[in-house]
Amino acid sequence: MSQLDHEIKLLKEEVISMWKMVHSQLEKGLSALLNNDKDLAREIVMIESRVNAEELKIDRDCEDIFALYCPVAVDLRFLLAVLKINTNLERTGDIAEGIAKMIIDTEKPFESDLLDTTHVIEMYHEATLIVQEILTAFVNEDSAIARSIFRRDEMLDNINRKANKMIADYINTHPENVEQALSLLSIIRRLERVGDQAENIAEEIIFYLEAKVLKHAKKKEIE
């Protein structure tokens, strides 16, 4: 194994470790939301600084490999993809932190009928699964799995599109619970962005594996 291979292997392990950390942040957020567990939410906020530190470390390691090894072809594409995936993961970490802060600030547990009508738990599950699935695509270098993310993200988009009306209807019938309904709308928006980040990551994995640029491509071209 060449030194560059070795460096790339270490970098990949680092990215996977960050990915797992971000995925765990999302999972903890779901648990905190379901159980109104403010301690768990505080833990998410604390761990976010580790996610940020990891992002900086991966950036630095990429810079070092660029400077020392002048990578080309598949190695160059891998590093360019990692730089962007790193940013997408960090933003996903920010989203998990944002949701955790909303849980901390909520005075009483979220009403179960509000959670049911908005399908937010279902959406949260799907967003977490997507992040897990796209990690599998990265680990196994599988562009078919990466492509499947584009379809799965539609479910998140769908719930997000209906969210305004659902929340407005809920507020009409439960005017005493406006604040909580608006917090939940904000959580739905954030989960939709988790899907967007996963889509961006999927595009980067396909760029790395197939040298195809899917950014701004139409759906048909992507599939």
What is the binding site for other proteins (CB under 8 A)? 2, 4-5, 70-77, 211
Q: Is the CB of 80 or the CB of 121 nearer to other proteins?
A: 80
Nearer to other proteins, 12 or 42 (CB): 12
In the bound complex, what is the minimum distance in angstroms from residue 204's beta carbon to other proteins? 14
Distance CA 78, CA 202 (A): 13
- CA 203, 207, 210, 216 torsion: positive or negative? positive
The nearest distance, CB 2 to other proteins, in angstroms, is 6
Least Å distance, CB 63 to other proteins, is 18
How many Å apart are CA 48 and CA 50, to the nearest integer? 5
Instruction: Give the pair of three-digit tokens for residue 137.
Output: 């695509």
Quote the least distance from Cβ 70 to other proteins, whole Å: 6
CB-nearer residue toward other proteins: 162 or 215? 215
Give Cα separations from 26 to 13, 22, 71, 198, 213 (angstroms).
Answer: 20, 6, 34, 13, 28
d(CA 91, CA 94): 5
Q: 33 is written with which tokens? A: 């939301």
H-assigned helices in the chain: 3-35, 38-69, 73-105, 112-118, 120-140, 143-173, 178-210, 219-222
**110/207 with CB nearer other proteins:** 207
Query: Whose Cβ is closer to other proteins: residue 29's or residue 71's?
Result: 71
Cβ at position 208, least distance to other proteins in Å: 11
Provide the minimum distance between the beta carbon of 6 and other proteins in the complex, in angstroms, as a whole number.
12
Using an 8 Å Cβ cutoff, are 83 and 59 in contact?
yes
Q: Which is nearer to other proteins, 2 or 172 (CB)?
A: 2
